[in-house]
Amino acid sequence: MNWYDMVISLDCGSEVIIKHENNKYQLFEVLEYIENHDTPWSKGMSIRPIGEEHKDINQALGELLYFALNEYETLALNEMSEVVKATMNKIEEWFKLHSEYLATL
């Protein structure tokens, strides 16, 4: 597991990992930790893929909403998705402004 993978702990006790590889996002369920590794950042875990690969992080977060989540987990995922969208919009805006600035030089 890489440091940039996202780990989401659900209220039911399950953990879901969103891994980013080859410009795709994939959900994985953590089945068990192996050899007494107690952190999700260690390599000692057994995981299985859930669903399909996604081109966008928001699609992967949206797939989690198909699970039987409680209300605050659903709200947290929606908030996470909004934060990602807002961040992507700000980055795009910055690049446009920066490009316009460079074009005027």
Find the mean pLDDT for residues 17-39: 80
Classify residue 78: in a domain, yes or no.
Answer: yes
What span, in angstroms and rounded, lies between the C-alpha atoms of 7 and 15? 7
Question: So what's the pLDDT on residue 43?
Answer: 59
Residue 3: C-alpha distances to residues 42, 64, 70 (Å): 10, 21, 27
**Is 1 a domain residue?**
no
Query: Taking 90 as the threshold, does the pLDDT of residue 100 lie above it?
Result: no
| pLDDT at 38 > cutoff 70 | no
82: helix, strand or coil: helix
Residue 48 lies in a domain: yes
Residue-wise pLDDT tens digits, 61-90: 888 877 767 777 888 888 888 998 999 999
pLDDT at 92: 94
> By C-alpha distance, which of 97, 100, 14, 87 is closest to 50?
14
Mean pLDDT of the chain: 82
Q: Domains in the chain: how many in total? A: 1
User: 38 is in which domain, residue-wise?
Assistant: 6-104
